[in-house]
Chains A and B, each alone.
Chain A
Amino acid sequence: MSASVTSATAAGAAVFPEKSYLDDGTTVRSWLLTHDHKRIAILYLVSVLIALFLGGIFAMVIRLELLTPGPTIIEALTYNRMFTLHGLVMIFMFMIPAIPGVFGNFFLPIMLGAKDVAFPKWNLTSWYVYLAGSSLMLWGLITGGADTGWTFYAPYSTTTSTNIAPVLIGVFVIGFSSILTGLNFIVTIHTLRAPGVTWFKMPLFVWAIYATSIIQVLATPVIGLTALLVAAEHTFGFGFFDPARGGDPILFQHLFWFYSHPAVYIMVLPAMGVISEAICAYARKNIFGYKMIAMSSLGIAFVGFFAWGHHLFTSGQSAFDAGAFGAISMLVGVFTAIKVFNWVGTLYKGSIAFTAPFAYICGFLFFLVFGGMTGVALATVSLDVHWQDTYFVVAHFHFIMVGAVIMAFLTALHYWFPKMFGRKYPENWALLAAGLIVLGFNATFIPQFLLGNAGMPRRYYEYPERFTALNVASTAGASLLAFGFVIIAIYLAIALRYGEVAGRNPWGSRGYEWDVPSPPPTENFDKVPVFTRGPHEYSDIPEELAKVGHGS
């Protein structure tokens, strides 16, 4: 492993810093009442990992149930609750807070040369609000057994006999947490940049988080209100969405997707930011087309707001709206394509170290292109008529959400693990897990594209016999995927305690965050730092290499 040589030369000199944010109080209280953005990030990390674990269990139950055409291990109602649980937990408890909440919180202030986010108290509040919303939602899902799917389509959701109100209120509360996080980041980026960090010297991860935060702030209130309306309608029999009382179910879909389409970008934009950071470090190369990547993040955030209607092509929405939304959706594809070209361009003439995160990056690129292009295909109005609500759509968004977002999450976890905890993970095990995950992922979801083509609708508890083979393939792939995650969990847990000491900069990265010790001290910087170089400049690497790994 070429990368481990880098660290090997450095390791002799690397010492674990005597004082870091991890030692600044070790009581439970010091963690639960902390205002330190890094500790809040760790709190988020623990909670989203629990959510990922839960969501993964639910996913496996779903896949096992679909192993045979008829009932396999659970009843229809349990199955319907399972996919609702899976969707809600994965989206609201894992995907949306995952990268911004964990890596955004940890690195955004450091990358700007700031000591903390703009409003540290609100930052902690946002975690508690997230915790409260998640608990309410989970409690509602388990005791009330909501069976509507995460989309809550009215009038099914307003008339279901299961108790859905706490779940919806949970969604509303989590939305608040998301707004607080986004608001905090936007203000931080505007007011707390250190001298030298001009707008176009900000790391691309910061640009991505900035774009994400704009969406969080502007879109989340709409889902909050919609969730409240559905909860009220279910509880009190109002008639906003239920046609039996004069309401309009298509209006629900408009309001729901006005948030939930941009929400996809809340999940995927930070993932793109992570890739922009890590790809430079592992290719030891300046980013190709910095401004194009930065601006396309904002472009996606903006255009993403005008595309929600492509979820409604077969709902009875007018052809005029279908055309407008379809055309605008194409622009999202263009912005994504720009990013992909620039990432591949970054590899050109680089010096590429093949590490586990780099394997995830390769996976990410393939999944994003395939997932993104199938997204464009889905926005091609006439094709969507066949695919809408089939497994094709399921496969498409899992390519983006698992393929792209989870690959990026794992990239970030491995890339920044040394920085966050000061220790290195075992590279060989990591490569094995990465291989399993990329393979397992393909085996899980490529059959689902074909299932969609063949016409298998989503949210099917039982299915016609002719879909059996592809479903079995998908379930087999899912087991491989799950196995990969188990390996990661084990070696990271061990590395946390027994990993090799990483030193300040084991990857030879030029990101601003690598200038502080690993793990960073509570205040991040002793004095306000002044950055003279950009965060993605690598052409003067040899001199820098001399410093690599020389601990605090």
Chain B
Amino acid sequence: MEASATARKMTPQGWLEPPPLPHHYDTPENHQAALRFGMWLFLGTEVLLFAGIFTGYFTFRSYFPEAFDQASRHLSLFLGTLNTFLLLTSSLTVALAHYNAEHGKNRNAFWLLMASVLMGGGFLCIKAIEYHEKFVEGALPGKFFRFAEITHPGGPVFYVVYFFATGLHALHVVVGMSLLIWVAVRCWRKEFSAAYYSPVENAGLYWHLVDLVWIFLYPLLYLV
């Protein structure tokens, strides 16, 4: 994001020098703190982005408890749980990548990040299988709803919430994966060290947020 890596020298310890400090910061710590704080603020906005969906979920659940119950039983508990484990594990590898990058072990960090990206991809594949099932069954939102097994009123609304929540979440998974790939490439170039690891940290924070959202979505959609 800052100066290109080619202009920077390799230190004896085996990682690149940190990019030059932007002119308006006095110390690198101040810069890092600013980047981290900015990321946390952004995560705050993400929490509120999902707030509307969750509010809608609880509102409609209170209107149509039977339909939500029925529809929730039609989701694949196995795939949902599997996806939960995938995301939790990818969160672990991202956290470990952060640790390794901070200690200058760029190669380890690279492989850990790639593992996370793979798990993210796995998550999306499983999601795609679930979506496919819904499309075949006609368990679709709004006017496309033609799923006969939901006998109580409110079925179409459940699927609006379901598709919007998981769709928005999947979009975040895609963005998160792109961020992870981007920092993984920079790990491959050995850019990170104790003096400079903000990109890994911030991409990791974003990925953890994706995990957080799923931690709530999983029980609300699949279990309750």
Question: CB–CB under 8 A between A and B in the complex?
Answer: yes
The verdict on A115 contacting B23 (CB below 8 Å), with A225-B52, A233-B142, A254-B55 known, is: yes
Nearest CB of B to A94, in Å: 23
Q: How far is the CB of A261 from chain B (nearest CB, A)?
A: 15
Which of B42-50, B121-129, B204-212 faces chain A?
B42-50
Q: Which of A219, A246, A247 contacts B48 (CB 8 A)?
A: A219
* CB-defined contacts of B55 to chain A, threshold 8 Å: 251, 254-255
What chain A residues lie within 8 Å of B168 (beta carbons)?
A: 225
> B164 and A114: CB pair below 8 A?
no
- Counting chain A CB atoms within 10 Å of each CB, which of B26, B154, B160 scores highest? B160
Stretch at the interface among A20-28, A235-243, A346-354: A235-243
Task: Tell me whether A246 and B157 are in contact (CB under 8 A).
Answer: yes
Contact segment of A182-190, A409-417, A475-483? A182-190
B154 touches A187 (CB 8 A): no
- Chain B facing A: main interface SS: helix
Q: Is A220 an interface residue (CB 8 A)?
A: yes
From the candidates B34, B59, B60, name the one contacting A118 in the complex (CB within 8 A).
B34
Interface of A is mostly: helix
Residues from chain B with Cβ under 8 Å of A114 in the complex: 24
A238 and B45 contacting across the interface, CB-CB below 8 Å: no
Interface size class of A (residues with CB under 8 A): 35 or more
Interface string of A214-252 (1 = CB under 8 A from B): 000111111011100100110011111000011110010
- Chain B, interface residues (CB within 8 Å), range: 35 or more
Q: Does A384 contact B (CB under 8 A)?
A: no
CB within 8 A of A115: which of B24, B33, B42?
A: B24
How distant is the Cα of A87 from the Cα of B22 in the complex, in angstroms?
A: 40
Verify B164–A240 contact, CB threshold 8 A.
yes
Query: Min CB distance, B160 to chain A, in Å?
Result: 5
Q: Contacts of A469 on B, CB cut-off 8 Å?
A: none
* Bound-complex Cα distance A119 to B198 (A): 14
Does A76 have its Cβ within 8 Å of any Cβ on chain B? Answer: no
**Contact string against A for B residues 13-29, beta-carbon threshold 8 Å, 1 for contact and 0 otherwise:** 00000000011111000
Question: For window 151-192 of chain B, which residues contact chain A by CB distance below 8 Å?
Answer: 153-154, 156-157, 160-161, 164, 168
Is A251 within 8 A of B45, CB to CB?
no
Q: Is the CB of B45 within 8 A of A237?
A: no
Instruction: Among B38, B59, B154, find the residue whose CB has the most chain A CB atoms closer than 10 A.
Output: B38
Of residues B48, B60, B157, which shows the largest number of chain A Cβ atoms within 10 Å of its Cβ? B48
Q: Closest residue of chain A to B161, judged by CB?
A: A240
- A528–B63 Cα distance when bound, in Å, is 60
Contacts of B154 in A (CB 8 A): 246
- A residues 183-203 in Cβ contact with B at 8 Å: 183-184, 186-187, 190-192
B142 touches A238 (CB 8 A): yes
Which of A109, A237, A255 makes the CB contact (< 8 A) with B142?
A237
A232 to B63: give the CA distance in the assembly, Å.
Answer: 22
Contact across chains for A218 and B44 when beta carbons are under 8 A apart? yes
Chain B positions within 8 Å of A395 at CB level:
none
| Contact A239:B30 (CB < 8 A) given known A217-B44, A222-B48, A248-B59 | no
Closest 8 CB pairs between A and B?
A: A237-B143, A238-B142, A221-B49, A115-B24, A246-B157, A191-B34, A225-B52, A221-B48
